[in-house]
Amino acid sequence: MAKKDQKQKKEAEIPKWKREQKKPEYKGYMAILIVMVALVHLLDEYASSSSGAIQSFVINDLFVNQMGVDYTTGLSLMSIVSLLTLVASLMASVFKALSDKYGRKPFFVISALGMGAGMLICAVAPNATIYFLGRAVVGFFTATDFQVLYIMEVSPDNKRGVFYSVTKAIGTVGIVLIAVVRGTFLTSDASNWRMIYLVPAIAGIILGVIAMFASRESKVFMERRIETLERELNAPDVAAASKKEKAGMIAGFKAIIKSKEMRNQMIATCLFMCGMMAFTGFYESVMTMGGMTTEAVTNALFFYPISWALLLFISGFISDKMGRKFAVILFGIIALVCQVGFIIGSGNGMNPVAVGLLLGGAIGSYWTSNNTITMMMSEIAPTRLRASIVSVNAVIILVATFASTAVYATLVTMIPLKSLCLWGAVITMGIGMLFLAFTTKETAGMELDSEEAE
């Protein structure tokens, strides 16, 4: 009976996807889709970066004033409790894998609504506990990156890097809104840091509602889903075929284990992610503790998305033309150079504009290198398991990030902050670039679901 029900469900699912395939795209759909993806990128980047941009205000309000600890202790507690965000990201990987079965669109919409809801919780949080609950919700939905799967599956094979980098660059420019909102609300009252979350929270919820009605399912997903279902139904034993074709975390894990290429890409990303806290975990505190005023920090934060977006914009053209590996190593080197300049300049009276541009160069190049490796993993993964493989990869990477974050949280009380951020970046990025260079193959221009990818 169970086998019969399973067969009937699959038979009913195929017509649903075929009806969806036949629906004509409305005029200008691709342009609107790119705008929506760019705006969700903007929301993602804002939600991910906003906590770092107001770190000192949150620490002073929720830890120093409410809990009575000193700033350094509050900074350490902030780092430790932020591990909750990583736990939420681990849970998000299971959620993301479900899109291999149910489609990209519903999860794309839910992630936008979720990011908005998480920031809303942060905005109204009366204490540290509720604040970190909000950050955990934000971490859960920013970790899904469904907008990346969307743009990957609608882009031409030879322009995938350009489509990805352009939409993400447009979104990254929006991080300047953090500085705009910061400058608007934090000039007179430090407790107004909550407005940094409230404004985008409302915008994110509105964006999610618009995406619900304006977006369509990915054509690549529908084609592969129909093929998978038909293959299962035509098999002598439908239940056995379903088990073989089944997507999910276990199937994704098995695929990575079997593929030497995907294993090496995963290890390289883990090495890069061990430097995340050095680049993104303390930059506002580095500037504040380096003697920069609130106004100077705000000015720096206004300009850092500009260099970030510029580097991100050109990265797609470079990775499509010169290759993914070349782009990873190039932007890894740029990230280290800019990190050194930022750390030295922020404590030695450098113009805030220059400090901000160097900060954006460091963080933007760091994430560009990371994202390019993730693209390599997505390109080599088969469509029917793409979300599952990316989700398993994210879980393993987050475990490494979790461990490294705990190390940083301990070392921040023992080592000068600038030294920690400098050497943490150099060591992890250096090892990661060498490993990637010697153990992985090029994926630029690869056709999705080609024999080479499989």
The pLDDT confidence band at residue 358, using thresholds 50, 70 and 90, is very high
DSSP secondary structure code for residue 381 in this structure: S
Q: For the ranges 154-163, 223-232, 265-274, 355-364, which has the lowest average pLDDT?
A: 154-163
DSSP secondary structure code for residue 416 in this structure: -
Q: Is 241 a residue whose pLDDT tops 70? A: no
Q: For the ranges 168-177, 205-214, 268-277, 409-418, which has the lowest average pLDDT?
A: 168-177
Buried b vs exposed e over 232-253: b needs ≥16 C-beta within 10 Å? beeeeebeebbeebbbbbebbb
Mean pLDDT across the chain: 81
Q: Do 186 and 294 touch, CB atoms closer than 8 A?
A: yes
pLDDT at res. 20: 83
Q: How far apart are CA 42 and CA 355, in angstroms?
A: 22
Q: Do 121 and 133 touch, CB atoms closer than 8 A?
A: yes
pLDDT at res. 121: 93
**Residues sharing a CB contact under 8 Å with residue 182, sequence separation 6 or more, in sequence order:** 53, 54, 196, 298, 301
The pLDDT confidence band at residue 410, using thresholds 50, 70 and 90, is confident
Mean pLDDT, residues 176-191: 73
- Residue written as tokens 């109204």? 124
pLDDT at res. 399: 79
Task: Please report, for residues 38, 215, 223, the alpha-carbon distance to residue 19 in angstroms, rounded to integers and kept in the order given.
Answer: 28, 16, 12
Look at residues 205, 229, 171, 180 and name the one whose alpha carbon lies nearest to residue 40: 171
Q: Is 6 a residue whose pLDDT tops 90? A: no
pLDDT at res. 219: 81
Highest mean pLDDT: which range of 171-175, 207-211, 372-376: 207-211
User: Higher confidence at residue 9 or residue 237?
Assistant: 9
pLDDT at res. 247: 59
Give the side-chain half-sphere CA count within 13 A for 402.
15
Q: Do 148 and 288 touch, CB atoms closer than 8 A?
A: no
